[in-house]
Structure 1
Amino acid sequence: MRIVVALGGNALARRGEPMTADHLRTNVRGACQALAGLAREHEVVITHGNGPQVGLLALQNLAYQDVAAYPLDILGAETQGMIGYVIQQELSNALVGEREVAAIVTTTEVDESDPAFERPTKLIGPTYSAQDAAEAAAEYRWTIAKDGGAFRRVVPSPHPLRIMQAPLVSTLLDNGTLVVCVGGGGVPVRTDSKGRQIGMQAVVDKDAASAALTADLGADMLIMLTDGDFVSENWGTPEQRDILTASPEGLSTMKFAEGSMQPKVEAAVRVAEAGGRALIGPLDRLDDLLARKVGTEIRSDVEGGVVFVGK
């Protein structure tokens, strides 16, 4: 099967953990060891987030004031190279050289008139206290939003139209190469009237871009790996119900957390409506997720629309 695997932020940086290179490598190594079995048997593309890392680069960037700060599109490309290199190396090590692995920098086409540019929602960078967030917003002219009990910077997150290098990725897969790409959703670009790509100041949602890549590649499945066991209705309340299987129609009346689960559900719905399957579940129980002992599957042919755990 041709499978796109989207690594959630927990696979790269755990909440509250210092964003050091050693921690990044340790977390990626564990993720790649979990993925090795799947990668041996299938055509696998690995995508990944970059929110904490691109925010950290932006802060480091601001600390050196002798030159103008680099824009978000270039910082996004930097994180693709940095994280892609570590995933490529650790997956190659986990496979002991059985498969070739290639990490490539990809761009994602967006519409410059996308309303997301007027309403930033994508969380990036470290968390702040209310006072530190207010000071950062004033000093750097950032938009700040609440993230749990803390605050983080938010930037525009436009809808991905297509992954520009999808034909190259498909060629690599056809030739037996595993691919790491669409890091952080890919570098957002627009295409001008002359066909030239121009970088945009935004961060595309990784799950939405992974769904676009799934469609562009004609992949059979999108797997979004996170730290939760299921997608849940009324999460965190006494009325919480964990979802085992659902159709796009079954999910249409449900609301999920905008900054975390909602993008994953929307990405899964896009894949299911195109005739594919999407799984959302925990990285540390990947085998159980594939065996349908944990996690949520979204596909078009679910009788009754939604099947809850224990029902």
Structure 2
Amino acid sequence: MRLVIALGGNAMTSADGSARPEDQRAAIQSAMRSVADLVEAGHQIVLTHGNGPQVGNLLLKNEIAADVVPPVPLDWCVAQTQATIGRLILDALDDELARRGHPSRTAALVTRTIVDRDDPGFLVPTKPIGRYATAEEAAAMRGHGQHWVEVPQRGWRRVVASPEPREIPEVETVQTLLDNGSVVVCAGGGGIPTVREGTSYVGVEAVIDKDLTAALLADQVGADLLVIATDVDAAVVGFGTPQAEPLGAVGVSEIRRLAQAGAFGAGSMGPKVEAATRFAAHTGRTGVITSLPHIDDAVAGRTGTRVSPDSVPTDRLPA
């Protein structure tokens, strides 16, 4: 099968969320063992990934050095982290496949994602990024044109636009690499936020949801399955309550009803559910949400929240 696998932030950092270079390297090496299993099984694979901790580190460096060098814009930060994480994934996957005696062909592609200049998200930026800062620190960054809001009892935090992903210009290159037998790493962090101005491409200050971009990517490359790898085995209805129940196979209409009823967290599981649902609704194929160690079972249909067209019956996974 042709698989698009979206690796969550847990696959890029240590268990406690540390994002030191050695933590990232070790976490990615662990993640690539599961991916190597799928490569050995003969699947075509596209990998995409989060970059929140890495961009957060770059933003902090921007803030510390703002009086010395101008802060770099968010589209630059996304591009830098795509290249860094992509290189780490290639190294780790090549090493794992070599250890198994399996030939490898891998490629990382710096990837843009087109958004609309008139997307409503640009009018009122609401996506919080980076750390909490003091009023004085926020004022310095606002002097560079950034938007910051005060959060009671927490401090000031930067907010940016989070527009809808519309198109991935590099998709034909991804297709070519796949057809030539490569595992492709692309569209990291939701892709470099970009608008078209005439015949030109221009980066913009925004953060695109990585899971929604993964759904778009999976659609555009003709994936048979979208796998969203996170830190839980399945989406849970009623999370944190005595009625909590893992969700197994579910149709598009049912999971949309659950989402509208507030069954999933807006900032955590919500985007993953929406991404899997969009993919299933638009392609007629299946989107799966599961944990990284269970990707093999999810691909085989044995575990995870499996969102499919409405002809697939709903069930619940055993507790």
TM-score normalized by the length of structure 1: 0.90
Paired letter, 1:53: Q
Give the match for residue 211 of structure 1: 215
Is the CA contact (8 Å cut-off) linking 2:14 and 2:24 kept in structure 1?
Answer: no
Is the CA contact (8 Å cut-off) linking 1:189 and 1:200 kept in structure 2?
Answer: yes
Q: What's the CA shift for 1:58? A: 1.4
Give the whole-Å Cα distance in 1 for the aligned partners of 2:290 and 2:201. Answer: 35
Is the CA contact (8 Å cut-off) linking 2:227 and 2:295 kept in structure 1?
Answer: no
Give the match for residue 98 of structure 1: 103
Instruction: Give the counterpart of 2:289 among 280, 294, 297.
Output: 280
Give the whole-Å Cα distance in 2 for the aligned partners of 1:307 and 1:68. Answer: 53
Q: For residue 253 of structure 1, give the secondary structure of its aligned residue in structure 2.
A: helix
Paired letter, 2:23: H
Q: Are residues 181 and 151 of structure 1, via their aligned partners in 2, closer, same or farther at CA, if it must alter by over 3 Å?
A: farther
Matched, 1:195 2:199: yes
Aligned length: 303
Q: Are residues 276 and 253 of structure 1, via their aligned partners in 2, closer, same or farther at CA, if it must alter by over 3 Å?
A: same
For residues 20-52 of structure 1, what are the alpha-carbon distances to aligned partners after superposition, in whole Å with 9 as ceiling and x for unaligned?
110010000000112101123111000000111
Matched, 1:3 2:3: yes
Q: What's the CA shift for 1:123? A: 4.7
Paired letter, 2:47: I
Give the match for residue 267 of structure 1: 275
Paired letter, 1:170: Q
Is the CA contact (8 Å cut-off) linking 1:145 and 1:154 kept in structure 2?
Answer: no
Is the CA contact (8 Å cut-off) linking 2:253 and 2:310 kept in structure 1?
Answer: no
Give the whole-Å Cα distance in 1 for the aligned partners of 2:92 and 2:54. Answer: 18
Give the whole-Å Cα distance in 2 for the aligned partners of 1:150 and 1:248. Answer: 40
Runs of 4+ residues deviating >6 angstroms: 149-152
Q: For residue 72 of structure 2, give the secondary structure of its aligned residue in structure 1.
A: coil
1:212-227 aligned within 5 A: 212-227=216-231
Identity %: 40
Give the whole-Å Cα distance in 1 for the aligned partners of 2:14 and 2:126. Answer: 21
Q: For residue 207 of structure 1, give the secondary structure of its aligned residue in structure 2.
A: helix
For residues 155-174 of structure 1, what are the alpha-carbon distances to aligned partners after superposition, in whole Å with 9 as ceiling and x for unaligned?
32111001110000000001
Note the aligned Cα RMSD (angstroms): 2.3
Q: What's the CA shift for 1:133? A: 6.2
Q: What's the CA shift for 1:277? A: 1.1
Give the whole-Å Cα distance in 2 for the aligned partners of 1:237 and 1:145. Answer: 31
Matched, 1:243 2:247: yes
Q: For residue 296 of structure 2, give the secondary structure of its aligned residue in structure 1.
A: helix
Give the whole-Å Cα distance in 1 for the aligned partners of 2:149 and 2:16. Answer: 19
1:1-311 aligned within 5 A: 1-14=1-14, 16-40=16-40, 41-64=42-65, 65-96=67-98, 98-125=103-130, 128=132, 132=133, 136-141=137-142, 142-143=147-148, 153-192=158-197, 194-254=198-258, 255=262, 256-273=264-281, 274-304=283-313, 306-310=314-318
Runs (5+) with no aligned partner, structure 2: none
For residues 68-127 of structure 1, what are the alpha-carbon distances to aligned partners after superposition, in whole Å with 9 as ceiling and x for unaligned?
11100111100001111100111111111612100010000001111122344445435x
Deviates more, 1:135-144 or 1:91-100: 135-144
Q: Are residues 2 and 19 of structure 1, via their aligned partners in 2, closer, same or farther at CA, if it must alter by over 3 Å?
A: same
Q: For residue 172 of structure 2, give the secondary structure of its aligned residue in structure 1.
A: helix
Give the whole-Å Cα distance in 2 for the aligned partners of 1:232 and 1:87. Answer: 29
Runs (5+) with no aligned partner, structure 1: none
Q: Are residues 111 and 81 of structure 1, via their aligned partners in 2, closer, same or farther at CA, if it must alter by over 3 Å?
A: same
Q: For residue 252 of structure 1, give the secondary structure of its aligned residue in structure 2.
A: helix
Q: For residue 95 of structure 1, give the secondary structure of its aligned residue in structure 2.
A: helix
Q: Are residues 230 and 135 of structure 1, via their aligned partners in 2, closer, same or farther at CA, if it must alter by over 3 Å?
A: farther
Give the whole-Å Cα distance in 2 for the aligned partners of 1:303 and 1:272. Answer: 11
Q: What's the CA shift for 1:290? A: 2.9
Q: Are residues 284 and 151 of structure 1, via their aligned partners in 2, closer, same or farther at CA, if it must alter by over 3 Å?
A: farther
Q: Are residues 228 and 136 of structure 1, via their aligned partners in 2, closer, same or farther at CA, if it must alter by over 3 Å?
A: farther
TM-score normalized by the length of structure 2: 0.88
Give the whole-Å Cα distance in 2 for the aligned partners of 1:29 and 1:145. Answer: 39
Is the CA contact (8 Å cut-off) linking 2:148 and 2:156 kept in structure 1?
Answer: no
